[in-house]
């Protein structure tokens, strides 16, 4: 763990990505604790559509709400959805992929064909179908994104699990008579931590993007709650008059995704020795 | 068994699974199917009318019977009627489809034409400033959502140049090809931006991997000139992961089209699906999802064919 | 006579700026036209780096020539210093003046291009041939390396040919334009012994035909005897000795050369084998392991419905017994079923027939009396577990707990196999290949086994490391009265550790008996061929015979049962399978 941190600090994209992600996590936690400059849904009627100033660092929107406060809450909301959905899909996907690789035969066939079916849908479309069924909302977003990412985690785990399963150290463990549980946890899982960490980080980036997209379409977080995608969609008609409504949430989304992408890349370089040689 | 035959055999099976999933998903909409089909207007129906309607749509039968009925209809192109405009679902879909597929194909062409040369170039300049520049571009491109790009483009166009692209109705490719291209080029750039970035990244890393392979060393030991080593020996091998990625990304493009069509107010399939969801037009949602999934699967099958064409180990099987 | 190639004080390093690490510390030699120079050394000796520096391929591997000169006399008679030549000029020299073949034929050819395309390219680049002319030249080139049915093979892709065939194609490409210098970098290391012998024979013959000068890189000093005129021995980037072949082999001056020569097999007379065990005395005891009629088959399926169409007869009624304190070597080439036999004894594959019985050491409660050490020390230790967890695993699996007594045993065994006792908290990647193999041995010994199965246990190691691990194994055997089942393809190693030898071919034992008897007086035709293919320093510049016989297919139809073997005895402990005359 300490090695990993040191590696990240030495890696240029690891440093930048790590710093961005850390900053965002702090902001998200503050937002969930209610520590924002203003109440994000409080409307200052006289201060409508004010450009950035000392009082409102990022200006105000058409209802006179403080953009910075709404942005912070939006980041908190996006992170909640991202972590929840990736957490769910990582756990389910890992369990499915691991058991598919270990038991093989019929179970492997059933699981992987099911995943093939889910993968036959373009990701956003699958999410839309789920939202169509359950109706929009935060919980639906979490479920929809989790649904989309589960087959990907299943594949990401199954491939390496199959190759680790055929490695000599697993054969050695069998010759000792080690129990299934021991082999699955100590030999397979422990070696899957690295690819999973990378995948989780990249999935978080994608999930932030999807959440923003769904909210932008009006199918994710519902007003008056705040979310980055929602703020962008509300800015659409006002962008000539109030470009700050477009610029700040736009940059916030981009930077957040960039942070996780950079971190994921750095983790891949550090944890996966195969590609390590190709980089500095 | 050959990889391709296996893909061809599983194709209809997976399509069947997709249809079951879509069917079951729509049946899981809370409330009864009449309400689901007619929306709030269902409240005006008398119990007798309800019963008659249920018999008419066949929803008083068991789920399996309903599924068979629906599947047989779907196989003959009958996906039901759209509640919002009363037209057959398939007709509505087919009228919107050309725009979306053109948009997606344009995005693919843009991504491959820019991303591939850029990635190969960066790989040959490994660790030099130009490589770093390409990598930063690709990283930013991959991290910027299409709707942020789209909004930015619109903002710059309207506030700096004071112009707006044609929105609303579609300009036909066959009647006015230039107008059509003018209308679609910006949406296609928006949609293809992050795809371009991923093609750049993948082709760069694939190329770097391949340049370390033994056969590239062999080619050099034969005295093959540096440029030919890259284009004739390395590239055909590096293309294999790029092609695989393109299949997966095509799915993102079809999904991303929803957002881009909304921003540019284009009447494509994505907008159709979105509106259908918002208006609870379930037959239309079902039809759209099924139709797009089918297209995505066909594209992936084509990608597999391209994959086999590129890699004789897949085409010919083992020794 | 002016030399074809003259290398002076060549220094090669890796890395940039201040971080340059010098790998080759000043190599000098001359090579005359038509002469063969062998460069011998272990991994990390800098032999391959030296070779790659000559045609400047090192530029693409992150390396740099720091100083020195490489003078090449070209076909036209001009003298070129290759360290100063422009990259564009080097492209004209590679292939035309200097050809090269590499260690891994399976990965050295472009997988998406046909053999013909890759051959014709050489003619196109250096002789300006194209179309039908290039095609014709390619056919002739394949025929020159004795590939039958050359025209059809031109349309093949690399994955459709065997390793031996691919190496011939590589040679054909390298020699396509009759270069004046051929660099062969471990061209046979990835191949089986009998295929190696064929490639060596081919190289020797082509050298005679074309008069090409050759630099032959190898780790196997035995291989040198058959082909080299001069020998250069490298260790850790330095040349420790160089001279004419006979001088190096018969009167080596440097201790390192002497050490390398010690590892070369002798066979004849059988005096090089171990004489520390008398089977006759041991026969009064019960065997440590008795294997009877062991048969392993893997089903072969085909078609959409995965119908069973036959079976791979991987191991066919193998029987033997193994006494405590004895080493039985199972020898064979890849695909012979030797590893499958070992794996069946550890329950890693299920036999379809046969039985084996293991007798534990009296007075010790044993959970698993048979333990195994695998070939690849990098793959047989879980990289995420520390040494303590690794050593504890076999004990834990048997229900044991991590007590202080067990820790004491760990430290004792670590010291016994020659590892630092503070290793317990370290991870596998902190150890070298040889150390890891010692770790695997210690792990296997944690549960007091009576039989140790060593599956190619030293094959991945360098000769000098190999010698030390073999020494350790011999010591441990005497001390703990262990029985070893030593599976190997390497005759040189077998000669040094085996008391008895079983030769397996196509899944069956074809000859078995006392090591000295089998090695010095082989009876079965396969054993003879196998031994004849092993390079030894006695056979100097001898012509290897081109042998194109192929191994019979192991895939048999359903219900196939091989004929029962009949054995012919050639001594008190030496028997061979009777051969059919028609074969």
DSSP C246-268: HHHHHS--SHHHHHHHHTS---G
Largest CA distance in chain B: 86
Give residues with Cβ within 8 angstroms of C380, minimum separation 6.
Answer: A168, A169, A171, A172, C373, C374, C436, C440
Cα distance between residue B4 and residue B16, in whole Å: 19
For chain B, the average pLDDT equals: 84
The helix (H) or strand (E) run that includes residue C315 is strand C307-322
The helix (H) or strand (E) run that includes residue C370 is strand C370-373
Q: Smallest Cβ distance to C379: which of A167, A177, A186?
A: A167
3-state secondary structure (DSSP) of residue C18? helix
Q: Do residue C163 and residue C270 come from a single domain? A: no
Residue C374 located in a structural domain: no
Contact C545, C527 (CB under 8 A): no
Q: Output B66 or A80, whichever has higher pLDDT.
A: A80
The pLDDT of residue B33 is 59
The pLDDT of residue B22 is 86
The boundaries of the domain holding residue C420 are 380-449
User: CA C149 from chain center: how many Å?
Assistant: 29
The pLDDT of residue C582 is 44
Q: Do residue C73 and residue C177 come from a single domain? A: yes
The pLDDT of residue C218 is 93
Handedness of CA A81, A85, A88, A94 (dihedral sign): negative
Q: Do residue C243 and residue C277 come from a single domain? A: no
For residue C227, CA distances in Å to B113, C48, C55, C218, C541 come to 53, 18, 22, 11, 6
Cα distance between residue C135 and residue C141, in whole Å: 10
Cα distance between residue C399 and residue C346, in whole Å: 19
Q: Do residue C445 and residue C543 come from a single domain? A: no
Q: Which residues from B are below 8 Å from A235, CB to CB?
A: 151
Q: Output B187 or B248, whichever has higher pLDDT.
A: B187
Cα distance between residue C417 and residue C420, in whole Å: 9
Q: Smallest Cβ distance to C368: which of A177, A179, A190?
A: A177
CB within 8 Å: C87 and B217: no
On the question of pLDDT at C301 being above 50, the answer is yes
CB within 8 Å: B273 and A128: yes
Other CB atoms within 10 Å distance of the CB of residue A280: 9
Domain boundary among C206, C238, C263: C263
Quote the tokens at residue A32. 């969930």
Q: Measure the N-to-C terminal CA separation of chain B; round to a whole number of Å.
A: 13
Q: What is the ipTM of this complex?
A: 0.84
The CATH number of A26-32+61-279 is 1.10.3720.10
Instruction: Give residue limits of the domains in chain A.
Output: 26-32+61-279
For range B228-247, the mean pLDDT: 90
pLDDT band for position B37 (cuts 50, 70, 90):
low
On the question of pLDDT at C247 being above 90, the answer is yes
DSSP code string of C197-213: HHHHHHHHHHHHHH--E
CATH of the domain at C279: 3.40.50.300
Q: Do residue C245 and residue C386 come from a single domain? A: no
The three-point CA angle B303-B307-B311 to 5° equals 175
Contact C455, C211 (CB under 8 A): no
Give helix then strand counts, H and E, for chain C: 20, 22
Crossing angle of helices C463-480 and C433-445, rounded to 10°: 20
Quote the tokens at residue A174. 């069998």
Q: Which residues from C are below 8 Å from B318, CB to CB?
A: 159
Quote the tokens at residue A244. 């700050």
CA nearest A109 in B: which residue? B10
3-state secondary structure (DSSP) of residue C26? strand
Other CB atoms within 10 Å distance of the CB of residue C512: 24
Quote the tokens at residue C141. 């080139």
Chain C contact for B12, CB < 8 A?
Answer: no
Chain C contact for B64, CB < 8 A?
Answer: no
CB within 8 Å: B214 and C108: yes
Residue C347 located in a structural domain: yes
Residue with tokens 């333990």, as numbered in its chain: C371
For range C136-151, the mean pLDDT: 89
CA nearest C452 in A: which residue? A175
Residue C354 located in a structural domain: yes
For residue B156, CA distances in Å to A57, B164, C9, C95 come to 23, 10, 64, 56
Q: Mind telling me how many Å the CA of B312 is from chain A's nearest CA?
A: 23
Residues 232 through 251 of chain B touching chain A, CB cutoff 8 Å: 250-251
3-state secondary structure (DSSP) of residue C59? helix
For range B32-52, the mean pLDDT: 69
pLDDT band for position C53 (cuts 50, 70, 90):
very high
Q: Do residue C327 and residue C273 come from a single domain? A: yes
On the question of pLDDT at C552 being above 90, the answer is no
The stretches of C446-560 forming alpha helices (DSSP H) are: 463-480, 491-497, 515-520, 525-533
User: CA A3 from chain center: how many Å?
Assistant: 24
Strand partners, C94: C98
Q: Mind telling me how many Å the CA of B65 is from chain C's nearest CA?
A: 30
The stretches of chain B forming alpha helices (DSSP H) are: 3-27, 33-38, 47-57, 63-75, 89-124, 129-143, 146-156, 177-211, 214-221, 226-228, 235-263, 269-278, 282-310, 312-316
**C7 closest CA partner among C224, C183, C219, C171:** C183
For range B93-119, the mean pLDDT: 92
Strand partners, C185: C217
Q: Do residue C429 and residue C468 come from a single domain? A: no
Q: Which residues from A are below 8 Å from B155, CB to CB?
A: 239-240, 243, 246
The CATH topology of domain B90-310 is MetI-like fold (1.10.3720)
Q: Do residue C64 and residue C183 come from a single domain? A: yes
On the question of pLDDT at C297 being above 60, the answer is yes
Would residue B309 be called left, alpha or beta, if left means φ above 0 and alpha means ψ between -120 and 50 degrees?
A: alpha
Pinpoint the residues of chain B covered by CATH 1.10.3720.10: 90-310
On the question of pLDDT at C111 being above 90, the answer is yes
Edge-to-edge strand list for the sheet holding C289-302: C353-358, C289-302, C307-322, C555-557
Contact C469, C452 (CB under 8 A): no
Q: Do residue C259 and residue C403 come from a single domain? A: no
Chain C contact for A191, CB < 8 A?
Answer: yes
On the question of pLDDT at B19 being above 90, the answer is no
On the question of pLDDT at B121 being above 90, the answer is yes
Residue C62 located in a structural domain: yes
Cα distance between residue B29 and residue A142, in whole Å: 18
The three-point CA angle C143-C148-C150 to 5° equals 60
Q: What pLDDT digit, counting tens, does each position of C468-491 carry?
A: 999 999 999 999 999 999 999 988
On the question of pLDDT at B35 being above 80, the answer is no
Residue C580 located in a structural domain: no
Chain A contact for B293, CB < 8 A?
Answer: yes
Neighbours of chain A (3+ CB pairs under 8 A): B, C
Residue with tokens 């193999």, as numbered in its chain: C437
On the question of pLDDT at C273 being above 70, the answer is yes
Quote the tokens at residue B304. 């597999």
For range B185-198, the mean pLDDT: 91
The pLDDT of residue C512 is 95
On the question of pLDDT at C135 being above 90, the answer is yes
Would residue C34 be called left, alpha or beta, if left means φ above 0 and alpha means ψ between -120 and 50 degrees?
A: left
Give the percent of chain C with pLDDT over 90: 46
The number of domains in chain C is 3
Q: Mind telling me how many Å the CA of A194 is from chain C's nearest CA?
A: 10
The pLDDT of residue B188 is 92
Give residues with Cβ within 8 angstroms of C202, minimum separation 6.
Answer: C145, C146, C168, C171, C546
The pLDDT of residue B25 is 84
CB within 8 Å: B143 and A254: yes
On the question of pLDDT at C303 being above 70, the answer is no
Residues of chain A with confidence (pLDDT) below 70? 1, 272-280
Show which residues on chain C lie within 8 Å of chain B, measured between beta carbons: 55, 57, 60, 87, 91-96, 98-100, 102, 104, 107-113, 121-122, 125-126, 157, 159-162, 170, 173-174, 302-304
The pLDDT of residue B319 is 38
Other CB atoms within 10 Å distance of the CB of residue B15: 17
For chain C, the average pLDDT equals: 87
CA nearest A187 in C: which residue? C382
CB within 8 Å: A120 and B14: yes
CB within 8 Å: A261 and B142: yes
Q: Mind telling me how many Å the CA of B175 is from chain A's nearest CA?
A: 31
The pLDDT of residue C162 is 87
CB within 8 Å: A186 and C367: no
Q: Do residue C432 and residue C455 come from a single domain? A: no
Q: Do residue C174 and residue C270 come from a single domain? A: no
Q: Smallest Cβ distance to B251: which of A123, A212, A265?
A: A123
Backbone angles phi, psi at C211, to 5 degrees: 70, 25
Q: Do residue C293 and residue C230 come from a single domain? A: no
For range B58-80, the mean pLDDT: 80
Cα distance between residue B168 and residue B156, in whole Å: 20
Residue C569 located in a structural domain: no
For range C184-209, the mean pLDDT: 86
**C336 closest CA partner among C577, C509, C574:** C509
User: CA C501 from chain center: how many Å?
Assistant: 19
């Amino acid at each position: 763990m300490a090695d990993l941190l040191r590696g990240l600090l030495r890696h240029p994209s690891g440093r930048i990505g790590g710093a961005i992600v850390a900053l965002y996590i702090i902001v998200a936690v503050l937002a969930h604790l209610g520590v924002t400059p203003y109440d994000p849904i409080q409307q200052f009627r006289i201060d409508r559509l004010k450009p950035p100033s000392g009082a409102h660092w990022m200006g105000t929107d058409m209802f006179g709400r403080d953009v910075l406060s709404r942005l912070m809450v939006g980041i908190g909301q996006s992170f909640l959805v991202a972590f929840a959905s990736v957490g769910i899909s990582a756990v389910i996907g890992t369990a499915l992929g691991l058991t598919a690789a270990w038991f093989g035969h019929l179970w492997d066939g059933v699981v992987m064909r099911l995943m093939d079916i889910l993968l036959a849908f373009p990701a956003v479309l699958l999410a839309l179908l789920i939202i169509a069924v359950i109706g929009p909302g935060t919980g639906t977003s979490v479920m929809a994104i989790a649904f989309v990412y589960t087959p990907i985690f299943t594949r990401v785990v199954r491939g390496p699990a199959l190759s680790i399963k055929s490695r000599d150290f697993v054969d050695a463990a069998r010759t000792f008579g080690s129990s299934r549980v021991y082999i699955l946890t100590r030999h397979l899982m422990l070696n899957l931590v690295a690819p999973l960490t990378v995948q989780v980080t990249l999935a978080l980036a994608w999930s932030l993007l999807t959440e923003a997209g769904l909210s932008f379409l009006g199918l994710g977080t519902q007003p008056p709650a705040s979310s980055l995608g929602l703020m962008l969609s509300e800015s659409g008609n006002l962008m000539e008059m109030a470009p700050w409504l477009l610029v700040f949430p736009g940059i916030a989304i981009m930077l957040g995704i960039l942070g996780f992408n950079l971190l994921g890349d750095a983790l891949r370089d550090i944890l996966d020795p195969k590609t390590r040689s190709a980089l500095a | 068994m050959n990889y391709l035959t296996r893909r061809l055999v599983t194709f209809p099976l997976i399509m069947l699974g997709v249809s079951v999933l879509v069917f079951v998903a729509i049946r899981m909409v809370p409330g009864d199917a009449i309400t689901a089909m007619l929306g709030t207007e269902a409240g005006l129906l008398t119990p007798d009318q309800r019963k008659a309607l249920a018999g008419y749509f066949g929803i008083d039968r068991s789920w399996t019977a309903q599924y068979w009925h629906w599947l047989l209809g779907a196989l003959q192109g009958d996906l039901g009627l759209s509640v919002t405009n009363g037209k057959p679902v398939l007709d509505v879909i087919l009228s919107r489809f050309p725009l979306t597929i053109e948009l997606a194909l344009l995005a693919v062409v843009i991504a491959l034409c820019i991303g591939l040369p850029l990635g190969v170039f960066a790989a040959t300049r490994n660790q030099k400033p130009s490589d770093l520049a390409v990598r930063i571009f690709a990283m930013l491109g991959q991290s910027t959502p299409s709707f942020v790009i789209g909004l930015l483009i619109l903002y710059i166009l309207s506030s700096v140049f004071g112009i707006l692209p044609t929105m609303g109705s579609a300009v036909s490719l066959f009647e006015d090809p230039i107008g059509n291209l003018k209308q679609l080029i910006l949406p296609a750039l928006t949609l293809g931006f992050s795809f371009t970035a991923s093609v750049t990244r993948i082709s760069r890393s694939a190329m770097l991997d391949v340049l370390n392979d033994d056969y590239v060393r062999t080619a050099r030991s034969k005295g093959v000139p540096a440029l030919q080593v890259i284009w004739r020996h390395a590239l055909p091998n590096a293309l294999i992961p790029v092609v695989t990625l393109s299949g997966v990304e095509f799915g993102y493009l079809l999904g991303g089209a929803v957002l881009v069509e909304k921003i540019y107010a284009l009447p494509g399939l994505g907008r159709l699906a979105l509106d259908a969801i918002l208006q609870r037009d379930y037959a239309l949602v079902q039809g759209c999802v099924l139709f797009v999934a089918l297209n995505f699967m066909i594209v992936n099958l084509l990608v597999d064919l391209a994959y086999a064409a590129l890699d004789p180990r897949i085409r010919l099987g083992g020794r | 006579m002016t030399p074809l190639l003259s290398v002076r004080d060549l220094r090669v390093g890796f890395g940039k700026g201040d971080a340059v690490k010098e790998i080759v510390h000043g190599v000098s030699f001359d090579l005359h036209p038509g002469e063969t120079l062998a460069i011998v050394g272990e991994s990390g000796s800098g032999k391959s780096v030296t070779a790659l520096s000559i045609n400047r391929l090192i530029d693409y591997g992150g390396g740099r020539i720091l100083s020195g000169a490489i003078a090449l006399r070209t076909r036209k008679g001009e003298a070129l210093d290759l360290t100063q030549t422009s990259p564009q000029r080097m492209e004209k020299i590679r292939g035309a003046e200097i050809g090269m073949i590499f260690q891994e034929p399976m990965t050295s050819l472009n997988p998406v291009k046909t053999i013909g395309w890759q051959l014709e390219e050489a003619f196109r680049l250096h002789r300006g041939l194209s179309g039908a002319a290039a095609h014709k030249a390619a056919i002739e080139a394949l025929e020159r390396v004795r590939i039958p049915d050359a025209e059809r093979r031109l349309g093949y892709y690399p994955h459709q040919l065997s390793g031996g065939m691919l190496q011939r194609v590589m040679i054909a490409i390298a020699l396509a334009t009759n270069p004046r210098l051929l660099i062969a970098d471990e061209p046979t290391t990835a191949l089986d012994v009998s295929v190696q012998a064929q490639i060596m024979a081919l190289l020797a013959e082509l050298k005679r035909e074309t008069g090409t000068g050759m630099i032959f890189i190898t780790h196997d000093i035995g291989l040198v005897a058959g082909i080299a005129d001069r020998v250069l021995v490298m260790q850790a980037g330095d040349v420790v000795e160089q001279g004419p072949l006979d001088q190096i082999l018969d009167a080596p001056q440097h201790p390192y050369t002497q050490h390398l020569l010690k590892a070369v097999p002798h066979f004849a007379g059988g005096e090089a084998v171990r004489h520390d065990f008398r089977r006759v005395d041991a026969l009064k005891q019960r065997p440590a392991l008795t294997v009877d009629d062991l048969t392993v088959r893997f089903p072969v399926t085909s078609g959409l419905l995965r119908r069973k169409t036959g079976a791979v007869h991987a191991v066919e009624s193998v029987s033997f017994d193994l006494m405590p304190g004895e080493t039985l070597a199972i020898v064979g080439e890849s695909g012979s079923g030797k590893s499958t036999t070992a794996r069946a004894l550890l329950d890693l594959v299920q036999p379809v027939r046969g039985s084996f019985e293991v007798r534990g050491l009296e007075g010790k409660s044993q959970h698993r009396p048979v333990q195994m050490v695998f070939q690849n020390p990098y793959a047989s230790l879980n990289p995420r577990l520390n040494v303590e967890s690794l050593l504890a695993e076999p004990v834990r699996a048997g229900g044991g707990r991590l007590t202080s007594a067990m820790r004491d045993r760990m430290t004792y065994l670590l010291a016994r196999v020659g590892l630092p006792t503070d290793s317990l908290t370290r991870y596998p990647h902190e150890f070298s290949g040889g150390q890891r193999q010692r770790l695997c041995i210690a792990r296997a010994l944690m549960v007091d086994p009576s039989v140790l199965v060593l599956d190619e246990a030293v094959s991945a190691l360098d000769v000098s490391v190999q010698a030390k691990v073999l020494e350790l194994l011999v010591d441990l055997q005497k001390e703990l009265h262990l029985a070893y089942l030593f599976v190997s393809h390497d005759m040189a190693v077998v000669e040094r550790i085996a008391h008895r030898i079983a030769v397996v071919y196509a899944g069956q034992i074809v000859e078995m008996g006392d090591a000295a008897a089998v090695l010095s007086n082989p009876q079965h035709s396969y054993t003879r061929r196998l031994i004849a293919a092993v390079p030894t320093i006695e056979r100097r510049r001898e012509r290897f015979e081109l042998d194109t016989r192929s191994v019979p297919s192991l895939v048999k139809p359903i219900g196939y049962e091989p004929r029962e073997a009949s054995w012919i005895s050639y001594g008190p402990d030496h028997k061979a399978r009777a051969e059919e005359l028609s074969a």
